[in-house]
Structure formats: structure tokens, C-alpha cells
Amino acid sequence: MESHVFEVWAPTPDTVRVSVDGTVHPMTKSSQGWWTAEVPAADGARYGFLIDDDDAVIPDPRSPRQPDGVHAASALHTLDTDVWTDESWTGRRLPGSVIYELHIGTFTAEGTFDAAAAKLDHLVDLGVTFVEIMPVNGFNGTHNWGYDGVLWYTVHEGYGGPDGLQRLVNACHARGIGVVLDVVYNHLGPSGNYLEKFGPYMSQGANSWGQTVNVAEEHSDPVRRYIIENALRWLSDFHVDALRLDAVHALADNRAVHILEQLAIETERLSAHVRRPLSLIAESDLNDPKLISPRAAGGYGLDAQWDDDIHHAIHAAVSGEKQGYYADFGHLETLATTLRRGFFHAGTYSSFRGRVHGKPIDVRTIRGSSLVAYTTTHDQVGNRAIGDRPGFYLDGGQLAIKAALVLTSPYTPMLFMGEEWNASSPFQFFTSHPEPELGKATAEGRKSEFASHGWDSDDIPDPQDVATYDRSKLIWDEVSDDEHARVLDCYRSLIALRRDRIEITDPWLDHIGVDYDEDKGWISVNRAGVRLVCNLSPDPVTVPFGGVPLLWWDAPTQDETASTTTVPGHSFVVLD
């Protein structure tokens, strides 16, 4: 049996021991707070650490596998490199791509990586070029959105563990699809976080989800390495092509080199080594172009960021919803501004926040493809009180308009699983906390949150009820049903048009033109002669534009000279 070097950064305790398959071994501490021990161990050996006089074995913060859950011993695990068949994979860049966000547990009835791989042909046929997988690292319980992770180096066993993720990535690459993995570095979940027993991994501050991670305070250097090496592990060991960085505005970093900039530098270095593009996509509510500005211009140099303003502008204009953070949206003028400039709140007053918010994008240096646009996401569905998708309250034409506005935009479009066929299943907030008190607090907190928004608390599903999880699974049998199939065909056609016409994937925002009539309810987006016209009103409207109709929801009509076009209510047409 070969020896294995066990190591852990633990500057806080006086003594650390390692238990390997039930045998306890002493460890030696370095001046930097790293404890090491070289012990004979085979792949699969169960191990964990004992802190000071406590005989409880706790998992490795860098555990590669947790076969028995996040409170149990870790297991040594080495990926089988013979599984990889993607030697010819050269990767994908974000510009020109279409992303598809999915949750492994609810994407299929089985809720596994292998079951998701069996659905990839659907995504290829749809025209998707990236799948974005919601977080899969170790959390307590059987099912969860993934944002309660506590062991960042592990892969949830219920999905298929690390080997299952490897097989899915390999299968995606075999079909020409890149993989984006959603990762969370701004907080840890409420159950299974043992990091503070080892050292100052957590800071003195807090954010919306609890204590923040120590990326800037005393002893933060090893914590930053803990994060960055985790990110690089997904990109290197698991061949992942991009990372979606959750809620980076909650990273409390005031150091001269922000951790996002440091991660971008090291990701570029790895990309050069593996000879394929590696991308970083931030989620941020700051509307700050610094994230995606080049480092030479004082930015962090990330590749893209989610843009909620685009979602809000489209959704409010089409649906008429004006509550909460939609309050400043809903007008075609707002939509036009956002389509042309990426952010609506760009140094302007936000009534929802009660203050000025955001900063303008320099359209000469930042490409539209650096902003991810969407009609919906896991947040925009799952954080509604009952998890209702847009198709629950909008008709097919309104859904088609939303899709057309995103898929013909200069931004990088992203779909949320099932939206392409107007899935009938909701996507609700679900948890499976084994601790009764934590489950109760989660359910009560959910009801309290939405009661303040005027929702009837009796309508809000219990996140701990397994039925809430089961209801959220996609129903694949409905895809070919008439109304679902029509929406799916519309999405396929829009994505195909985006792929075929260079005018549509042109990423420069100063090349886009927008016209609209607030009173009549139409908006037109001109992409160098390829023109999208959307009629958001329920009645037909005649617009002063002609051309050859390429694609539509309901068939338009034109006058004898083809200088005007009449678009049916709740419909769109693309003119050439």
C-alpha cells in the first residue's frame, strides 16, 4: 500500500490528528499552520481529523468525496483519467454561445448526472452550446438548490458523486457542449460547516445568508488559496469550461487585488496551459462594469456577468408586473434603454433600493456578450412564492416575445431548463435539512418573507416537504404536446437564426437601434438590417417597417408596397 500525505490548514488548534480507516495518527504542524502526516492509505480510504482533545472525526475541508454525508468521514478519491475521451475538445468561448441553466436533481425524474447526460441530444437539437449546472458540492440532506454547500471540493453523492460529474462533462464535450459550473464562495450552508474548528476561514462580517468568508482579514491568504484552488480544480481536474460565481457582491474584499481579479489572472494562466478557453461569469447586483472591464482599464477582467436589469425590463414590459424590484421597469422606454445599454440603473435612482444605483457601461470597450441575458432563471422562478414559471400567467405569444428579445439581443442568452417548451412543472424552493429545527426555521422564514410582499402564506409550499421537490421535476413526456411543441419550435428557430446571422451575434452595443411606440405597445430592435418587431399589446398593430419576414409567432401581414407590417397581438416578427 502506498503512502499518502494528509494535510490540513489549521492554525487555531494546539493538536490535530488524522484518523485513517479507524487508526489515529499524529500530525506535525508547520510555522504557517499546516498540519501533515504521511500514512499508508489506499484510494477510497476513510479519513478525517480530530481537533485537540475532541475524539470526534470531522471531514477534511478539501475532501474529494463524502460517501456518507457531510458530517461523516471523508474518502480519498482519484478520478479515473481513462474515462476522458475529450482529447480533441478545444472548448467554447462565451461570445456567440447560448447557455442552458439546469438543476441536476429536477432536470430528470432520476435526478442524476447520468440521467442528465441522456437528455443532451435534446439540448443539441435545441442549439445550446453551454449547460450551466447549479451547485453540486456537498450539502447536508438529499436534495437542495445547492447554495447550502459546506464542503466545496466534494460532489453530492445523490447526483452520482465526482465520477458522475466527470461522466457528464465528458458526455457534454462529446456533443460539442461546454459546461459551466455554479460555485458559491460568499457563504456556507447552515449544517456541516466545520471550518471554524480549523482556523479563521470565516470573517467577522455577515451577509444575507450568514457569516461571510474571510477573504480580506487577518490570515486570509490561505483562505483565498482555498477558494482559488477549488475553482481551478473544477476547471482542470473535471475539465469544466467556465464557472458561474454566485453573488460576488457578498464577497467582502477590500484588498488592493480583489479575489476576483486574482482568480481571473490564475484562470487565464490555466487556460494557456490546457489550451482551451476558460471563462468566469459573475452574479452581481451592483451593476458595476468593473467586474467585466479589462484589467488594463482597472477592471477585474472577468468574462461576463448576469444582468438582472435585462430580465426585469423584459419581464415587466411583457407581464405588467410592477411589484418589488420591478417598480422602475415596465415601460418600453425602460426596455429600450436596457436593450441598448445593458444596465437600466447606471448611476440612476432606484426606487426599490431608495438610492442611486449602478454605473454606465462604456459601450466602446465592453461587449454585449459580456452580459448574460435571460427571460428567467432559477431565482426568478424559484424565488416567487409558489415557484410559478412565466407560462403560468402569460400566453404563448408573450413567452415568444420574451424569448425573441433575449435570443436576438447582442447579449449572451441563457435559458432556464424547461422554458424552451413552456414546462408545466413549477420550480419551487426546496430543502431537505435533516435537523427538524433547521427545517422548521427555513419553512417559517419562507412564509414570513413572502407575507411581507402580500402573498397568502397558505399558498407558499413547505420547502421541507418532499412533494415540493418532486413537483419541481421536469415532465419530459409533455415536450411533444401541441402547445408545448409550438413553443419549443419557436425557441429552436430563434436559436438557429442567431447562429446563422452575424448581425444578431454582433456584440457591440453601439451597433443596435431601438424604436418603440409606448401608446401602441410595440418595440423594434434593429440589428444591422435584421429587425425584430414585438407587439406587446393584445391587439394587432401596424408598424412603419417592411422587409422579408423570416420568423414569427403569428403570421404578420404587409401592405402592397411592403413598407409597413401588421403584427398580430402578443406576437413578434423578424424582418430581413
Q: What angle do CA 227, 232, 235 make, to 5 degrees?
A: 135
How far apart CA 317 and CA 163 sit, in angstroms, is 44
Where are the domain boundaries for CATH 2.60.40.10 in the chain?
3-81
Instruction: Output the pTM of the full model.
Output: 0.97
Which residue has 402547445 as its cell numbers? 483
Instruction: Tell me how far CA of residue 233 lies from CA of 224, 228, 287, 360, in angstroms.
Output: 14, 9, 29, 34
The answer on pLDDT for 168 being more than 80 is yes
Which contiguous run of DSSP H or E holds residue 175?
Answer: none
Cell numbers placing 266: 490564475
413 SS3 class: strand
**pLDDT level of residue 453 (50, 70, 90 thresholds):** low
Which contiguous run of DSSP H or E holds residue 258?
Answer: none
Domain 3-81: what homologous superfamily? Answer: Immunoglobulins (2.60.40.10)
**pLDDT level of residue 208 (50, 70, 90 thresholds):** confident
User: What's the confidence (pLDDT) of residue 457?
Assistant: 66
How far apart CA 489 and CA 102 sit, in angstroms, is 20
User: What's the confidence (pLDDT) of residue 530?
Assistant: 98
> Minimal CA–CA distance to 21: which of 49, 46, 52?
46
How far apart CA 52 and CA 15 sit, in angstroms, is 5
Residues with catalytic roles: 246, 283
Amino acid type, 486:
R
User: What's the confidence (pLDDT) of residue 454?
Assistant: 60
Q: Tell me the mean pLDDT in the region 151-180.
A: 98
Instruction: Tell me how far CA of residue 566 lies from CA of 208, 451, 539, 555, 569, in angstroms.
Output: 48, 44, 10, 9, 9
The dihedral through the CA atoms of 263, 104, 455, 420 has a sign that is positive
Where are the domain boundaries for CATH 2.60.40.1180 in the chain?
512-575
Asked if CATH classification 2.60.40.1180 holds for the domain at 512-575, the reply, yes or no, is yes
Cell numbers placing 39: 500514512
Q: Tell me the mean pLDDT in the region 80-96.
A: 97
Query: pLDDT over 70 for what percent of the chain?
Result: 99
* Annotated binding-site positions for substrate: 244-249, 308-312, 378-383
529: alpha, beta or left, given left = phi > 0 and alpha = psi -120 to 50?
Answer: left
Which residue has 480530530 as its cell numbers? 50
How far apart CA 184 and CA 182 sit, in angstroms, is 7
**pLDDT level of residue 562 (50, 70, 90 thresholds):** confident
How far apart CA 138 and CA 156 sit, in angstroms, is 5
As beta bridge partners, residue 210 has 207
Amino acid type, 35:
W
The answer on pLDDT for 452 being more than 70 is no
Q: Tell me the mean pLDDT in the region 453-465.
A: 79
How far apart CA 329 and CA 315 sit, in angstroms, is 9
The answer on pLDDT for 140 being more than 90 is yes
User: What's the confidence (pLDDT) of residue 205?
Assistant: 83
The dihedral through the CA atoms of 280, 286, 288, 290 has a sign that is negative
Mapped to the 3 state alphabet, what secondary structure does 193-245 carry? CCHHHHCCCEEEEEECCEEEECCCCCCHHHHHHHHHHHHHHHHHCCCCCEEEE
As beta bridge partners, residue 46 has 75
User: What's the confidence (pLDDT) of residue 210?
Assistant: 82
**pLDDT level of residue 456 (50, 70, 90 thresholds):** low
